[in-house]
Structure 1
Amino acid sequence: MGALAEHYRASRVSERLLLTGHSHQAWPDVARDAQLEAFDDAAALLDEKWSRAFAKAERVRQGWLRLLGDDGSGVVTLADSTHTLLVRLLSAWDWGTRPRIVTTDGEFHSARRQLARLEEGFIDVVRVPAEPVETLAERLAAEVDDDTGLVLVSKVLFGTAHVVPHLAALAAAARRHGTVLVVDAYHAVGALDWSLADDDLHDAYVLGGGYKYLQHGEGVCAMRWPRGTTLRPYVTGWFAEFADLSAAPAGAVGFGDGPERFAGSTYDPTSHYRAARVLDFFDEHRLTPARLREVSVHQVGRLAAGVAALDVDPGVLAVAVPDPAERAGFLALRTPHAAALQAALLERGVLTDHRGDVLRLGPAPYLRDDQLDEAVALLGECLRSRPAG
């Protein structure tokens, strides 16, 4: 995949050791062209630009449906963040009659914080330990009851890249109790060759974004939801009735079955121009979910093999998810020195990040094997030079 680097010249990916691909992959150079196209349309058309902007948004929505392997049963609403979409969804539920949420202690901060704040008010939040991941779905399913309004779980845990199996069992439990199932797929889409059918999620609400593995940049997040839902969000913007404002009678709030049901208000469409062009770029270079997964398994596996060859005391540094089949798009290394190692690697020109006691190494398809090897060698240098103790 090293030849792909020529399409990322602005980010100089062939010269740099960029191992934050699980957080922010470099944009291909065509993204700049798309941003200029958005400017040119706005300059030439002013308020008439929206027909072109909406066409870009539709391209992005269709791209998300395809990435998820949707069978036609779903609709996608776009927003600037998954938090925005989650809030709109949370506002649609009757919490007076079903005031209970079941989730895990391993969810991303936007959900963790929002649920904690709701818990201070009127929601009962049940947090199931994420470990052991092998039984997580079953343990979540056991907590779902008739008082549970919503259950929220990640397909891939953001801290360790651990893939959560057996979500079909959780989906069945949610279905039995009339509970909304929300799956955070941010670390799955673009990192796994995975579809909704694999976990029987045809009636689930699936959140994701393009900031990481899809190279869409900021402001491109999506919620796939089951067509025909009757949920009516209290948090709703005027774009939800943009198609025909004249048909909106005073005092009545209507919702359709299209993507406008969970829509907000006026937004910056530049991100959708960029995402639409990057989706085309991925198509042109055959960066399908299957191909991206093949590359990811190779790259993360090469990093893991290099770390193993360092022969470090497991108490100092250990691979968090040893089985390649159980990890997604990055290598998580448990170490009490995560913050110090990240800083030391940055001094040596290696970009990584950490979450608590986990150092995260995230490759991307434009990196060469020798770049991965060099990064691991520099990690070994950091380990050898760290203070004793």
Structure 2
Amino acid sequence: MSTSYKQHFSRFHAAAPERLHFAAHSHHYWPDVTFEAQMQCWEDAARLTGGKWDVVLGEVMPAVQRGIARHLGLPDPASLAFAPNTHEFVKRLLSCLPAARPPRILTSDGEFHSFTRQIARLEEDGLAAVTRVAVEPFADFQERFVAAAGEGVYDLIFVSQVFFNSGFTLTDLAGLVAALPAEGFVVLDGYHGFLARPSDLGAVAERVFYMAGGYKYAMSGEGVCFLHAPPGYGARPRDTGWYAAFGALAQAPAGGAAYAEDGRRFFGATFDPVGLYRMRAVLRLLDALKLDTAAIHAHARGLQDLFLAGLRSAASGLLPPERLLIDPARQPCGNFLTFDLGSEAAAGAAHARLKGAGIATDFRGARLRLGFGLYQDAADVTELLRRLAAL
């Protein structure tokens, strides 16, 4: 745990020097290079006005596509589309499904709100038929999920790579996809996996959609989410924007809309490009530091181990070690730790006490989460343990 990268996040640290920010799974600190990148976006707009789009679409976006593809092992960067949030992609994917009947959807009971809320609303009006597989118990989730997929015919299979409310992780993505039926769409929500867990999608790139974004571990802030769209799936989303026609080689039906054949078919319309500038700067920084996802995860894991060792040697009544939902030493886990405190009231009270001590965390229901990332080092964990002991 000798390596520290905190110097690359000096602006965020200086803005609130007393804050211990252990919510890396929620709002990750941005490295300093994103400040210059944000200024560059403004300056390009002032210098080029409408001509800025030649830079955005011809230089910035392709650089980000190449960087994402490299970290995910994708064979073709052009398979990547961008949107301000993943909910846009959810809507576009749903708009590819059959319209003559309610589409059949298989998912889990642990997906994030951008998906669960939307399909729940469609269910209310009989516009979707949804089957949900319980994530817990974790040990046999993948087997139960595959079995459920084989028991029906689904238009859409949607599941997380790392589950947001537990940290439980699907590690054998190739094995999972190979075991699923060949029909329908398969979508992996990788928001808690991208740049947090080593993810090689090369073996499944022709079969699965993969979506994630910059707000969390990509350290790029809001407004820059992406979708890998495998060839041959969802050629003409009904929910579309005029950017989806850029480079449209596919001939439109008579009087219909034409679409690009690569990932651009999932584009929407005009967007704020500043997130792309920030993400390009982050990807360049990781290259300069020679940090891949495995190294980032190893850094977070080292901090987790240090924290848990300290917590167990001086047990905290606020975060009892026995309340840890997944021990990363025994089971693959995301870059955050989840404590199930028994009730939402207990989790809320713990969150409030931590906040009062200058410790940023968050909670979902009865579960309180602590995230670990590049902007922290061993000294931060030591101080976290000291403040916990004082509480």
Per the TM superposition, whether the score is higher than 0.5 is: yes
The 2-side partners of 1:5 and 1:315 are apart by 29
Q: Unaligned stretches of 5+ in structure 2?
A: none
Secondary structure class of the residue paired with 1:134: helix
| 1:110-142 alpha-carbon deviations (Å, 9 max, x no partner) | 111011011112111111101122222221222
Q: 1:249 to 1:125 in 2, by over 3 A?
A: closer
Q: 1:164 to 1:132 in 2, by over 3 A?
A: farther
The 1-side partners of 2:117 and 2:60 are apart by 32
Deviates more, 1:266-275 or 1:329-338: 329-338
Residue of structure 1 aligned with 2:373, choices 342, 345, 364: 364
1:58 matches 2:62: yes
Q: Is the 8 A contact 1:92 1:234 kept in 2?
A: yes
Q: TM-score, normalised by structure 2?
A: 0.90
| 1:28-84 alpha-carbon deviations (Å, 9 max, x no partner) | 111111111111111111111101111211111222211211134971111111111
Query: What's the offset of the Cα at 1:250?
Result: 7.6
Q: 1:299 to 1:16 in 2, by over 3 A?
A: same
The 1-side partners of 2:290 and 2:118 are apart by 38
Residue of structure 2 aligned with 1:292, choices 293, 296, 317: 296
Q: Which residue of 2 aligns with 1:189?
A: 194
Which runs of structure 2 are paired with 1:1-389 in the superposition (5 Å)? 3-12=4-13, 16-54=19-57, 55-72=59-76, 75-96=79-100, 99-121=103-125, 122-144=127-149, 145=151, 147-176=153-182, 178-197=183-202, 200=204, 202-243=206-247, 251-311=255-315, 318-324=323-329, 325-336=331-342, 337-382=346-391
| 1:319-344 alpha-carbon deviations (Å, 9 max, x no partner) | 11024341110111121322111111
Q: Which amino acid aligns with 2:24?
A: G
Q: Is the 8 A contact 1:150 1:182 kept in 2?
A: yes
The 2-side partners of 1:289 and 1:229 are apart by 28
The 1-side partners of 2:322 and 2:141 are apart by 25
Q: 1:244 to 1:154 in 2, by over 3 A?
A: closer
| 1:134-184 alpha-carbon deviations (Å, 9 max, x no partner) | 2222212222255310011101110111112444454234343x1211111
Aligned residue pairs, count = 379
Q: Which amino acid aligns with 1:130?
A: V
RMSD: 2.4
Secondary structure class of the residue paired with 1:36: helix
Q: Is the 8 A contact 1:34 1:273 kept in 2?
A: yes
Q: 1:217 to 1:58 in 2, by over 3 A?
A: same
The 1-side partners of 2:141 and 2:55 are apart by 44
Secondary structure class of the residue paired with 1:207: strand
Q: Is the 8 A contact 1:233 1:262 kept in 2?
A: yes
Query: What's the offset of the Cα at 1:381?
Result: 3.3
The 2-side partners of 1:372 and 1:352 are apart by 13
Q: TM-score, normalised by structure 1?
A: 0.90
Secondary structure class of the residue paired with 2:301: helix
